[in-house]
Structure 1
Amino acid sequence: MARSGFEVQQAVIKALFFREIRTRFGKYRLGYFWAVLEPAAHLLVLLTIFGFVMHRTMPDISFPVFLLNGIIPYFIFSNISTRSVGAIEANQGLFNYRPVKPIDTILARALLESVIYVTVYILLMLVVYMSGEYFEITNLLKLVLSWSLLIILSCGIGLIFMVLGKTIPETQKFLPIFLKPLYFISAIMFPLHAVPKEYWPYLLWNPILHAVELSREAVMPGYISDGVSLEYLGLFTLLTLFIGLMLYRTREEAMLTS
């Protein structure tokens, strides 16, 4: 019985997903441990540097929970988008098989990064909870939606830079430059309400900030971030994905034959 195009793509993505796992972790005995260590070490450093100051400025909020809900969403966005750019080169030989398309490699990598960081998030939140820090998931739907939109947004950005990078190789260098300032303007280490309101219209163009603050609202009772919007995050994500898919559709054959 012939399989549908969707079933074929599912099988391709599944195979690429397990290939990515072997490539990423197979040669290291503690490979899976390193996936947890990176965000945990990052969190520990920031807690050491800013913990005392932020405890004084936000006495009613658990700073580890606050920080964790900023770092992990940023890592998801950063890792999916940057790893998507090199997805074609890493899987070049597989494109001799007709069912394998460049977009499948992005979806497989995005799925792996999502699984890794959702797992890391759950583990670190449990560690934080057991250490005596308080949080409560007050809106699971908001948490799931904001993270889902962030993952789709990351795929859209990765798709855009993958296509541009295959067309004009120099453009691949712009993504890391683009990501670095986002770390400092996405409310990773500070709440939006700590910024003077006259700067909000500029900061709120950044969809990562919306995802971060919505994530905090979902797990921190009483934490309200005025100005952020799930609707804005959704619209920005859909627009980015649309642009990425349109670019991909026009350049797919050229990328496969280049």
Structure 2
Amino acid sequence: MAHAPQSPRELRAVRTIAALVLREMGTTHGRAIGGYLWAILEPVGGILLLTLAFSMAFRSPSLGTNFPLFYASGLLPFLMYIDLSQKISVTIRFSKALLFYPAVTFIDALLARLLINGLTQILIFCLVLGGILVLYDVRVMLDIPALVLALSMAIALSVGIGTMNCFLLSLYPTWERAWAILNRPLLLISCIFFIFDDIPEPFKSVLWYNPLVHIIGQTRKGIYSFYNGDYVSPAYVFGIALVTFAFGLVMLRKHYKTIINT
């Protein structure tokens, strides 16, 4: 069965997004390969620091026997969320000069940022995790569907929070500083350095509401076959992602002209 030809409007949107992706690649990473290497070296450096610090204090990590693998299972999805949500949140600021052209919409800009930065973060995740498994000869049976679900949860939450903040940051600049303050404890309360199961009550019940706890727990379920992680709720994470994305999209549509003219 033959596919219906794409309309000129659809083709124009594809060309616009492709042009925005190329612009993003050149602006963010530069034309030299060093820009992309730095994006990979940043999480590697964090994992090495955590490994050195905690291996001197503890005999073994909370899961398994390999410190780098354990901290990578927490740090990689955490950094994916932080980087991707932040990049999406400043989409309009990044592409504001282009949004005055009728052919370029804020949705095109959002999709372009999601595409290039999402693929970059997935590549970083695979390279760093694969590098640890090869370098340390770690014998684990990866659950690929579970890891795909974990990455999907991280990307969905990043898009939701990023789109919401794209509106808030564009209309209320002081929100950027407030959001940065609210995010400071995340590194300590997202179960990167420990597992959710080891947290005592009543803190355990409170931390359950942090969606990053579920994303990191799902990642560890995909890496450690013996880890149950029955507290993980993908529906909860996708629910937050959907609500925040819908709110951000509706408000951006409503206040779009005001935002680009301020």
Under a length normalisation based on structure 1, what TM-score does the superposition of the two structures give? 0.90
User: Counterparts of 1:91-240 in structure 2 under 5 Å?
Assistant: 91-130=95-134, 131-138=136-143, 140-240=144-244
| Residues 55, 63 of structure 1: 8 Å contact kept | no
Residue 26 in structure 1 maps to residue 47 in structure 2: no
> What is the identity, as a one-letter code, of the residue corresponding to 2:202?
E
Count of residue pairs brought into register by the alignment: 257
> What is the identity, as a one-letter code, of the residue corresponding to 2:156?
I
1:106-131 CA deviation, whole Å, 9 max, x = no partner? 32222222222211221122221122
Q: Which deviates further from its counterpart, 38-47 or 196-205?
A: 196-205
| Residues 77, 216 of structure 2: 8 Å contact kept | yes
Quickly say closer, same or farther: Cα 1:167–1:60, change in 2 above 3 A: closer
Q: C-alpha separation between the residues in 1 aligned to 2:151 and 2:47?
A: 19
| Residues 82, 176 of structure 1: 8 Å contact kept | no
- Secondary structure, counterpart of 2:42 in structure 1: helix
> What is the identity, as a one-letter code, of the residue corresponding to 1:153?
L
**1:4 CA displacement:** 5.6
Q: Which runs of 4+ in 1 moved over 6 A?
A: none
1:102-153 CA deviation, whole Å, 9 max, x = no partner? 2332322222222222112211222211222232212x22221221122122
- Secondary structure, counterpart of 1:212 in structure 2: helix
Quickly say closer, same or farther: Cα 1:174–1:149, change in 2 above 3 A: same
Q: C-alpha separation between the residues in 1 aligned to 2:216 and 2:258?
A: 37
Which residue of the other structure, out of 35, 42, 65, is the alignment partner of 1:38? 42
Q: C-alpha separation between the residues in 1 aligned to 2:108 and 2:79?
A: 21
> What is the identity, as a one-letter code, of the residue corresponding to 2:142?
I
Q: C-alpha separation between the residues in 2 aligned to 1:243 and 1:59?
A: 38
> What is the identity, as a one-letter code, of the residue corresponding to 2:121?
Y
> What is the identity, as a one-letter code, of the residue corresponding to 2:17?
I
Q: C-alpha separation between the residues in 2 aligned to 1:95 and 1:233?
A: 31
1:19-62 CA deviation, whole Å, 9 max, x = no partner? 11111122545112111110111111011101344543537343
The alignment's C-alpha RMSD in Å is 2.1
**1:7 CA displacement:** 4.2
- Secondary structure, counterpart of 1:169 in structure 2: coil
> What is the identity, as a one-letter code, of the residue corresponding to 1:141?
P
**1:213 CA displacement:** 0.5
**1:197 CA displacement:** 3.4
Q: C-alpha separation between the residues in 2 aligned to 1:254 and 1:215?
A: 40
User: Counterparts of 1:71-90 in structure 2 under 5 Å?
Assistant: 71-90=75-94
**1:205 CA displacement:** 0.6
> What is the identity, as a one-letter code, of the residue corresponding to 1:99?
A
Q: C-alpha separation between the residues in 1 aligned to 2:257 and 2:173?
A: 17
> What is the identity, as a one-letter code, of the residue corresponding to 1:100?
V
| Residues 107, 155 of structure 1: 8 Å contact kept | no
- Secondary structure, counterpart of 1:197 in structure 2: coil
Quickly say closer, same or farther: Cα 1:98–1:175, change in 2 above 3 A: same
Residue 10 in structure 1 maps to residue 14 in structure 2: yes
| Residues 143, 214 of structure 1: 8 Å contact kept | yes
Quickly say closer, same or farther: Cα 1:216–1:87, change in 2 above 3 A: same
**1:73 CA displacement:** 1.0
- Secondary structure, counterpart of 2:227 in structure 1: coil
Q: Is the helix fraction higher in 1 or 2?
A: 1
Q: C-alpha separation between the residues in 2 aligned to 1:167 and 1:116?
A: 28
Q: C-alpha separation between the residues in 1 aligned to 2:94 and 2:12?
A: 21
Q: C-alpha separation between the residues in 2 aligned to 1:226 and 1:198?
A: 18
